[in-house]
Amino acid sequence: MSKIEPKLVPAAGQNVDWKFSKGEADIPSLSEVHASVFVPKAGSWFRKLMAFAGPGYMISVGYMDPGNWATDIAGGSQFGYTLLSVIMISNLMAILLQALSARLGIATGRDLAQACRDHYSPPVRIALWLACELAIIACDLAEVIGTAIALQLLFGIPLIGGALITVLDTVLLLLLMNKGFRFLEAFVISMLSIISLCFLAEIAVAQPPIAAVLGGFIPTTEVVTNPAMLYVAIGIIGATVMPHNLYLHSSIVQTRAYERNETGKRDAIKWATVDSTIALMLALFVNAAILVLAASVFHASGRTDVAEIEQAHELLTPLLGFGLASTLFAVALLASGINSTVTATLAGQIVMEGFLRLRIPNWARRLITRCIAIVPVVVVTWIYGNKGTAELLVLSQVVLSMQLPFAVIPLVQFVSDKRKMGTFVIAPWVKILAWLVAAIILVLNFKLLWDTFQGIG
């Protein structure tokens, strides 16, 4: 472990009022891949889109990781199509927040962690760092559980053994990183394609009623007034709007070799926003597909008690009448678990280097984070069995939701400040919308805490 040594020359084009120590400004985020992906200066819009395509799909991984599966299955089986509105709203929130994250990274040349370090006092930034680390551990917890369950379903490996096997994904990440950032993005997109195709086939067989599905996208007050529904809804928000993804996106958009001037940055912001919006629409499809599948197969048949991934796997084939249903479900889950390891690792590196200015080898960082996540999985599985693991998975998503304000509020604060963003400051109407989203997240979290303390949730 070593402290990152700052250079003595400020970064070119640094246009903002950041209170950083002398020379800190020009240390790029993820320096090993910074500005490493070629961007054509001229050519068709398609060439530009392809040059910037990648970061959006990497952040979309977090929006369809195994944690989403637990909350979406629980929501669909218990409440039918009602919570589709929550998935849609949370996805729209994600599109806005990820666009702001990309804007921050491109406009200032700083990721969100670096921005927090430069702006806040040491006690505040340490608190933010701890909150973000907790979110990453919660996300990693979901990945460990999801991958272990997939290995059990496909190959009969016990959950504890599957959890221990997930340590090996450290090797996978190192191999991918050594191939280059574009290769890493290609791997992620290929896994996303497998997940999407699996659920496309499941939905085609399930043939859910179109009217009921469309009706589920209409918001209802019952989501807030029903404590049980609210608990699952906040879990969906926590699983959809991922706090560590805001740190991640603000960094990996800087892997593109766009011109570091006003014109180049403005063009980069446009294409990065298009990239993330398209990718998050794919995430919306996958999340909605999981809930629709649960609603059309389990809720419709009276099985409103299905809340565990193993239950869903066991019941899909007999209830759906499709021999490959359970296998496709497990394959998609495994692809999701493997894919999620990449983003959690990169986010962990960005957070540690940004907040603490400490750099440790990627394999060591990954190993530490993964071992922290494995311990509770092994302990809970040993004591309570599979049911305890399922409850731990849903709880991890609620923990993620509780960490959201600690990432969202600093992000909105920074992109709304003209002294920091210069000409790239967001428009007044976007500022109002962004603070509204932050307020909704805060209110929902306070509501959950209140219900929990009152013994209702």
Full DSSP string of 112-128: HHHHHHHHS-HHHHHHH
| 283-319 pLDDT per residue, tens | 899 889 989 999 999 888 888 888 777 888 888 888 8
CA 66 – CA 392 distance, rounded (Å): 12
CA distance readout (Å), 232 to 213, 281, 300, 444: 18, 22, 19, 12
- Specify the 3-state DSSP secondary structure of 256: strand
Higher pLDDT, 232 or 369: 232
- Judging by beta carbons within 10 Å of its beta carbon (0-12, 13-18, 19+), is residue 2 exposed, middle or buried? exposed
- Specify the 3-state DSSP secondary structure of 359: strand
CA 288 – CA 307 distance, rounded (Å): 16
| 174-202 pLDDT per residue, tens | 677 778 889 889 999 999 999 999 999 99
CA 130 – CA 134 distance, rounded (Å): 6
The H-assigned helical ranges of 357-385 are 362-384
* Structure-block tokens of residue 318: 């007999």
- Judging by beta carbons within 10 Å of its beta carbon (0-12, 13-18, 19+), is residue 84 exposed, middle or buried? buried
Q: Are 20 and 357 in contact (CB under 8 A)?
A: no
Give all domains of the chain, ordered by start, each with its CATH number: 40-453 (1.20.1740.10)
| 201-257 pLDDT per residue, tens | 999 988 999 999 999 999 888 888 888 888 788 777 766 677 888 999 999 999 999
- Specify the 3-state DSSP secondary structure of 180: coil
pLDDT-derived band at 387 (thresholds 50, 70, 90) equals low
